[in-house]
Amino acid sequence: MAFTTTITTTSSSTIRSSSTNLHVSALESLADITTLSIDSGDIDTVARYAKTGLLTDATTNPLFVSQAGANGDARYEAMVEEAVTYAKRKTCSEDGCDVPEETLNLAIDRLAVNLGKELINLVPGRVSTEVDIRLSYDTEKSVERARSIIAMYEEAGISKDRILIKLAGTWEGIQAAKVLEKEGIQCNITLVFSFLQAAAAAQAGAYLISPFPGRILDWHKKQSGKEGYPPEADPGVLAVKRMYAYFRKYNYDTICMPASWRPSRGASVDGSDVDEILALAGVDEMTIPEPLLNSLSTLQADAVKKNCDATLDAAACNDPDFRLTKESFASYWETDVCGQEKLKEGIDAFTSETEKLTKILIDKF
């Protein structure tokens, strides 16, 4: 997918109603009950939506960073050049020599920070920056890289309170978050496809999780052969609601921020692209890509109903607060086929994007 710097499909007047406009959009109504984040690394897109006042945070991932590396836009090219120069200076890598792994890794992290710095200037809240996905099963190295990322932000005068470190929802990634949270570095556990991952993350003290209802739906559709589900019966929606209810019942502070959406009723059904978003309205936070923000901005406010309620969902939760260990997590994980398959798929996809970025950066040295 090509990285574009400007995609203009909705004017600011239709995104944010003026005081004289009787139309109130579903996007505005949703922002009243759920904190909204934009899932994009496109500076122009983030800037345009940030001006509406409806968005608080921004999330990035290896795909966005890889796209920035290949973009060709002068702004992104400057980020890449600075990342390469910085990595050379810090690791003493000379021009024309083989590029050491340490230098490449630092350039990758620096580029992610450079993109994050631009987004921080646009949104009032936090920006998520992901640790190298290839370290998803290495707690120690994940912690080390996370500390380095935070140090680069702080060198630029950006407080760690504005940054969320993204880590994959493996046992090792969750344990890295446990270490980092104790140091005041807040974490976003991503690629969450199961209640088990969510419970482990909450017990580790993770600031936030990013469950992917759309990809959970994909798995269940493949298994069942169904073309779609009613939004309230969407397996991805039900999985997220279960996680949210568990957090609220047992007073975990972990924020539930679903991401990666699919049409519950099937893509052929008009308006189904935002099915899962509307079905989870009222959850703590959501991160939403531009096309779905556009869709929400064209819907009337009455499309939004509060379908997640902390008190009611906590009361309905039937899950015990069982304490997970490495051994019990592994035992339960063996039975979670959806979680296993989708986590591997997600890690593999992001690893591929990181490898693409590595090749781009090598050519810059």
- Cα 252 versus chain centre, distance: 20
117 is catalytic: no
Single out the residue of 204, 214, 210, 162 nearest to residue 188, CA to CA.
210
DSSP symbol at 303: G
How far apart are the C-alpha atoms of 109 and 86, rounded to whole Å? 11
Find the catalytic residue in 51, 90, 160, 166.
Answer: 166
How many of the other CB atoms lie within 10 Å of CB of 90? 15
Q: Please give the order of strands across the beta sheet that includes 255-256.
A: 255-256, 208-211, 187-192, 163-168, 127-130, 57-59, 35-39, 285-288
Q: Which residue has the tokens 């779905």?
A: 292
Extract the runs of DSSP E, i.e. beta strands, from the chain: 35-39, 57-59, 127-130, 163-168, 187-192, 208-211, 255-256, 285-288
What amino acid positions are annotated as catalytic residues?
A: 166
